[in-house]
Structure 1
Amino acid sequence: MGGGGVASPTDKISNKQFCDDEIKALVDVANSYHTYVTAHAYTAEAIQNCIKLGVKGIEHGNLLDERTAELMAELGCYLTPTLVTYKVMGSDQFSAFLGPENSRKNTEVLYKGIDAMKIAQKKKVKICFGSDLLGPLYGYQTQEFRIRGKVQTTQEILLSATVTPPEMNGLGDKLGQIKPGFIADLLMMKSNPLDDITILDEPESNILFVMKEGRIY
């Protein structure tokens, strides 16, 4: 947690959760295991604080500014927006999911998320696909495809969901592409998502089968 959260009851979005020495220690230990650190962070201050100390990925990033996006691109950091989370939690259907203070924080980041995506795209930050939805909200995660369509091209959205995450995870030579030597993880669709990305928000109607490691399910 590089900064305050929406669901946490007692902190502000602007709060920093760790001091520099603690973040650096986390990064050093991760490096010793040949892996990396990602951080939950909303504000430009929290994001910069993390990535300057070696954090590789930022989850959320709704209050990103241009200077921070430039720094992320310069350092080769990854951004995983979770726009659908705030849309769903702010809906009437789940109005009781968050308390009053949490709802206020949700609104604060909800309307900034699209702007942050636009900034990240403009500054050529590497963007991954995520949702951050838990429990009964999990089934709404595919709505992220529709929301991303307001900012990204269809090809950019698909790359963020297939090629870029394995790259961040150090698996870019095994996952995310249909190439010889890559693991055969595939979705067979009724039609081409390049023509209409919203078909990925209706998986029951549009996915013919899932192939995992060459086996069809």
Structure 2
Amino acid sequence: MTSLLIKNACIVDGTLPEPTAPQQIAIEDGRIREVAPEVAFDADETLDLGGLTVMPGLIDCHVHTIATTANLGQNAALPSSLVAAKSSKIMKDMLMRGFTTVRDLGGADRGLQQAVEQGYFTGPRLVICGKALSQTGGHTDYRGPYDNRDVSWYAQALGTLGRICDGKPELMRAARQELKGGAQFLKVMADGGVSSPSDPVGYLVFSVEELTALVEIANGFGTYVSAHLYDDAAIVRALDCGITCIEHGNLIGDATIERVAREGAFVVPTNITYDLLARRGEEFGLPPESVAKVADVREAGLERVVKLHEAGVTMGYGSDLLGGMHSEQSGEFPLRGRYIPADAVIRSATVDAAKVLRMEGEVGTIVAGAYADLIAVEGNPLENLDLLTGQGAHMPLIMQGGRAIKKAATL
């Protein structure tokens, strides 16, 4: 692989309230070799990014790359080959928005991950949990109250976000199967959800014994459990069981926020999805009973982001979009920016996101040893977060692993 020296890089990664002074970035074999005001480096190519803001490649900590429609019951029934084809487009569009790494919270498998790694699909670096672990009548059981058809096939279909497993032995077996299949962490549905028909928010699903066993398995594999959670009681219960990453967290209480900050757990809010679902859910194919649930969590989630920020909780950037809503992935930036400072919003998609992924020093940062994932932005996102929206329109350069995925002719 050729080497590259980038000059005049004013860096924004969310750790400072202003861009850095111009830096030079030496890149070799897909990784950053050195960052300094002056670098002694004999590069094959030199690129001057003066006048632009240079950022680490963005990270979305909560996506569903296989969610080709907001009606997840319909999505589950699609042929896996068709889901894979549609997912390739979804992932390419994510990369072209500047998201060079994403964490899939249910659905993507090792095969989809390898398709990206081996260059068959163009997309972000995928961090996967395999299928999310759910239970009869819980989140990702899309059958409805009068449908008792067997859903053992959920575990094999690419279009399903989760699999159904009831009881401790079945849950433990499912967890081990996902880890054997390449899952890098485990995802559990520890509360009710919006997109499934039979589980109200606040539904305390898996037992304490089951959740504790799941955490033990994850820890034994050297990884962690992330949980779908809204209600405060469900969040407290999950923390008690050793779960360390809270997805959504819209109804988390003040005392629990303080506990999360104290214990160093992570929260990944996903407010853009509720904003869109409330306004256009039916248009995107969300069933009416699911649209009705959105109001319960929408406004509370935005108010909680302020509390989480004030308490010093590490938050990851999350979008959690489905089907036709994927195009609004970057909308979480200006949405959060109405409530918390811009540097904190950016940090949630860079260095803090890397902490959520357990990939500190590898992604979300521009330091020696990290992947050479970079984006160049026209203007200063610290002053205008809308520069990170527009399907990458304000990004003349998007680089992943030292390779320019997008490079304007003017560079």
TM-score after normalising by structure 1: 0.95
SS at match of 1:111: helix
* Greater C-alpha radius of gyration: 2
Partners of 1:161 and 1:204 lie apart in 2 by 15
Partners of 1:75 and 1:92 lie apart in 2 by 37
Partners of 2:291 and 2:373 lie apart in 1 by 38
Q: Which runs of 4+ in 1 moved over 4 A?
A: none
Q: Counterpart in 1 of 2:234? A: 46
Q: CA deviation at 1:115?
A: 1.1
Structure 2: which amino acid aligns with 1:67? A
Structure 1: which amino acid aligns with 2:287? G
Aligned residue pairs, count:
217
Q: Counterpart in 1 of 2:202? A: 14
How do 1:110-149 residues align onto structure 2 when only pairs under 5 Å count?
A: 110-149=298-337
Partners of 1:127 and 1:201 lie apart in 2 by 20
Q: Counterpart in 2 of 1:63? A: 251
CA contact (8 A) 1:7 1:98 kept: yes
Give unpaired runs (5+ residues) of structure 2: 1-188, 406-411
CA contact (8 A) 2:284 2:325 kept: no
CA contact (8 A) 2:226 2:245 kept: yes
How do 1:28-107 residues align onto structure 2 when only pairs under 5 Å count?
A: 28-92=216-280, 94-95=282-283, 97-107=285-295
Q: CA deviation at 1:21?
A: 0.7
How do 1:122-201 residues align onto structure 2 when only pairs under 5 Å count?
A: 122-201=310-389
Please list the CA deviations of residues 62-99 of structure 1 after superposition, one character each: whole Å capped at 9, or x if unmatched.
Answer: 11110110111111111100000011111147446333
Specify which structure has the bigger relative contact order, considering alpha-carbon pairs within 8 angstroms and separated by 6 or more residues. Answer: 2
Q: CA deviation at 1:202?
A: 1.6
RMSD over equivalenced CA pairs, Å: 1.3
Cα 1:200–1:96 change in 2 (3 A) is: closer
Give unpaired runs (5+ residues) of structure 1: none
Q: Counterpart in 1 of 2:106? A: none
SS at match of 1:152: coil
More strand by share: 2
CA contact (8 A) 1:65 1:119 kept: no
Q: Counterpart in 2 of 1:209? A: 397
SS at match of 1:206: coil
Please list the CA deviations of residues 41-64 of structure 1 after superposition, one character each: whole Å capped at 9, or x if unmatched.
Answer: 001111111112111110101111
CA contact (8 A) 2:278 2:291 kept: yes
Structure 1: which amino acid aligns with 2:369? G
Partners of 2:394 and 2:284 lie apart in 1 by 32
Cα 1:106–1:43 change in 2 (3 A) is: same
SS at match of 1:143: helix
CA contact (8 A) 2:193 2:201 kept: yes
Structure 2: which amino acid aligns with 1:65? G
SS at match of 1:205: coil
Partners of 2:280 and 2:322 lie apart in 1 by 18
Task: Name the stretch that deviates more: 97-106 or 185-194.
Answer: 97-106
Please list the CA deviations of residues 15-57 of structure 1 after superposition, one character each: whole Å capped at 9, or x if unmatched.
Answer: 0121111111111110011110100000111111111211111
CA contact (8 A) 1:86 1:110 kept: yes
Structure 1: which amino acid aligns with 2:234? A
Structure 2: which amino acid aligns with 1:198? D
SS at match of 1:61: strand
Q: CA deviation at 1:154?
A: 0.8
